[in-house]
Amino acid sequence: MSTSWSARLPGLVFAAALGIAALGLARLPALQSIGLSALPLAIMLGIVLGNSLFPRIAARMGSGVDYARTMLLRAGIVLFGFRLTFQDMLNVGLHGIVLAIAIVGSVFLLARWLGRALKMDEETTLLIGAGASICGAAAVMAAEPVVRAQAHKVSVAVATVVVFGTLGMFLYPFLKAPFGLDTHTYGIYAGATIHEVAQVVVAGRAVGEQAANIAVIEKMIRVMLLAPFLLLLSMWIRRRHQGAEGKPALVIPWFAVLFLLVGAFNSLHLLPSAVVDTLLLIDTFLLATAMAALGLRTHIGAIRQAGAKPMLLAAMLFAYLVFGGLLLTLALG
């Protein structure tokens, strides 16, 4: 083993142990009932230890933790493609596809406008916009290498996903009757506007299995938009920061391209379901490890300095998802 890997191993093992712990906790019925998945749990564990134990051992484990926060994250995003098939897009029809694009585009643009109005820093605004518009914590983590944000800004964005995604998960079942939604429309609405996949499942099952199935398919269409979103975001950031110095260079996030290619391969159904299930478990482990590593590098003091503006931005985006998302669902239905 090279010196480099010898230096990384302790930190990798430590982050992986926290990831495994988060996977175990996520299986507890009490946490499953509130839709708290392994990824938010991993970052919570990381933050707790990152502000207590980790500062005393950071010198020995820092390089491995940083590797988990970057390379393992990218590998996890690539394997995330095994959660998708293009057939799922066809099952909800053109309406579901157009709605997903409209939600992702409008929420992210609204986040940009509100972030400027609130005079927030650009990195936090972009990360919160990505999390609210696409797929929660996974989108925040996927956008981090493109945005190149500091660890505490990523943690703030993930926190907004946990707070408002959880709120939406409990709120949405109570909106079905007042809004006069049938099961199919409710499923489309929930999948198009709730933050995390786990939260979508809980909100769907509160109404019924049919609603849950439709909601998850619609949610997966939003997840599929992650790759083109990251490509466009990368182009925009390069143009914004280098446009004045000459022709902007295009940096393509390779993991976003591979994510889409994996989804295309998965659409061919060439692998046995048992193999796909194993790959999905590995994917969740990699993402949980990356989240734990991010938490270890997050300082509570830096989160406090972010103030109330990130939560205010996330609250306004949540209100738009609930009411604006409903109007878009009905208008495009």
List the chain pLDDT tens, one digit each, 333 residues.
444 777 788 889 999 999 999 999 988 888 877 767 787 888 888 888 888 877 777 667 878 888 888 788 788 878 888 987 887 777 777 888 899 999 999 999 999 999 999 999 999 999 999 999 998 888 888 888 888 888 888 888 988 887 888 788 889 999 999 999 999 999 999 999 998 877 887 788 788 878 887 888 888 888 888 888 988 888 888 777 665 454 444 556 677 778 888 988 999 999 999 999 999 999 989 988 988 887 887 777 766 776 889 999 999 999 999 999 999 999 986
Cα gap 73→54, rounded to integer Å: 20
In the three-class reduction of DSSP (H, G, I as helix; E, B as strand; rest coil), residue 50 is classed as helix
Q: How far is CA 1 from CA 8, 9, 67, 70, 132, in A?
A: 11, 10, 16, 21, 42
Cβ atoms 145, 253 nearer than 8 A: yes
Q: How far does the chain reach from its first CA to its final CA, in angstroms?
A: 58
- With b for 16 or more beta-carbon neighbours within 10 A and e for fewer, the 154-183 pattern comes to bbbbbbbbbbbbbbbbeebbebbeebebeb
* Residue 116 contacts residue 126 (beta carbons within 8 Å): no
**Cβ neighbours for 171, distance < 8 A, ≥ 6 positions apart:** 322
Measured CA to CA, the distance from residue 76 to residue 89 in angstroms comes to 22
pLDDT given for residue 319 in this prediction: 97
Angle formed by the axes of helices 122-130 and 93-117, nearest 10°? 160
Q: Minimal CA–CA distance to 132: which of 295, 315, 259, 287?
A: 315
| Element holding 71 (H helix, E strand) | none
What's the half-sphere exposure (Cβ side, CA atoms, 13 Å) at 69? 25
Q: For residue 76, what pLDDT is reported?
A: 85
Q: What whole-number distance in Å separates Cα of residue 145 and Cα of residue 24?
A: 28
6: buried, middle or exposed (CB in 10 Å: 19+, 13-18, 0-12)?
exposed
Does the pTM surpass 0.85? The reply is: no
Spell out the residues 6+ positions from residue 107 whose beta carbon is closer than 8 angstroms to its own: 129, 132, 133, 317, 320, 321
- The label of the residue with tokens 């929930």 reads 190
